[in-house]
């Protein structure tokens, strides 16, 4: 159960923990552990990777606790650190692709396509879809994974995580979806609607 802290309370706990007060650290953990865990799970990380992200985030706070610019906003600091670590884990290459939890393959705009939902999210096709996704290159899998996060990663975040120029993301997304479409077709799965693959303006 998390305790909601005021900015002033957060700042006090950060300063006291930096001074070696263990109880202050415990209160920080109790207040923000849920936030970090939620961020990791919302990035579709498995339990083990999410646990590593959580632990690494807290260890990073230990490293920097004496030098955070704004201790009152330690929650935002933890959230940013956790998110960056999630993107690093994804960039290392996920072993599985979270098809069952996938949202629409949107490029940041509200977009829902029933055809791609049916093609990719149907329960009875998950195994075939998983195999098709594994047929993509690691970079395509990483890109599509980031685009399917909830909320989706921004193009800035994708560019930073993958070292890809922002202008390349749309065309690369298109090529990856084309490749996926071909792999799905080989498995007898109906093609996703072309409207999902067209029009990369961002």
Partner 1 sequence: MAVPDHVRLAALAAFDRRREGAVLLELIDDTCTGSWELHPALPAGVTRVLVFAGPGLLARVSVLDVENGQRPEGVARLEVRTTPEIELLVEVLSPRTDVSLRSGPGSRVLVSAPSHGPLSMVLSRVAAGAVRGRDWQTSWITL
Which residues of this chain interact with partner 1, rule CB under 8 A? 17, 22, 25-26, 29-30, 33-34, 36-38, 41, 47-48, 50-52, 54-56, 58-63, 85, 87-89, 91-93, 139, 161-163
Please state, in angstroms and rounded to a whole number, the distance separating the CA atoms of residues 134 and 97: 8
Nearest by Cα to 10 from 80, 77, 55:
77
Asked if 99 contacts 63 with a C-beta cutoff of 8 angstroms, the reply is: no
Asked if 185 contacts 179 with a C-beta cutoff of 8 angstroms, the reply is: no
**Among residues 158 and 196, whose Cβ is nearest to partner 1?**
158
Asked if 72 contacts 28 with a C-beta cutoff of 8 angstroms, the reply is: no
Q: Quick one: DSSP state of residue 152?
A: P
Minimum CB–partner distance for residue 185 and partner 1 (Å): 29
**Among residues 167 and 199, whose Cβ is nearest to partner 1?**
167
Q: Quick one: DSSP state of residue 100?
A: G
**Among residues 62 and 76, whose Cβ is nearest to partner 1?**
62
Minimum CB–partner distance for residue 53 and partner 1 (Å): 8
Minimum CB–partner distance for residue 51 and partner 1 (Å): 5
Minimum CB–partner distance for residue 25 and partner 1 (Å): 4
């Amino acid at each position: 159960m998390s305790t909601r802290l005021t900015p002033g309370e957060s700042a006090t706990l950060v300063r006291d923990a930096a001074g070696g007060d263990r109880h202050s650290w415990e209160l920080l953990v109790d207040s923000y552990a849920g936030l970090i865990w939620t961020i990791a799970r919302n990035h579709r990380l498995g339990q083990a990777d999410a646990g590593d992200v959580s632990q690494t985030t807290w260890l990073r706070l230990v490293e920097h606790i004496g030098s955070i610019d704004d201790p009152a906003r330690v929650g935002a600091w933890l959230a940013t650190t956790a998110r960056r670590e999630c993107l690093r884990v994804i960039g290392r290459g996920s072993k599985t692709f979270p098809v069952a939890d996938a949202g629409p393959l949107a490029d940041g705009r509200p977009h829902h396509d029933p055809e791609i939902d049916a093609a990719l999210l149907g329960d009875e096709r998950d195994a075939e879809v998983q195999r098709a996704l594994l047929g993509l290159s690691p970079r395509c899998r990483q890109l599509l994974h980031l685009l399917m996060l909830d909320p989706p990663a921004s193009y800035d975040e994708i560019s930073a995580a993958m070292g890809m120029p922002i202008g390349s993301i749309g065309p690369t997304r298109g090529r990856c979806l084309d490749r996926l479409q071909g792999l799905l077709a080989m498995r007898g799965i109906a093609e996703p609607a072309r409207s999902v693959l067209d029009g990369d303006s961002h």
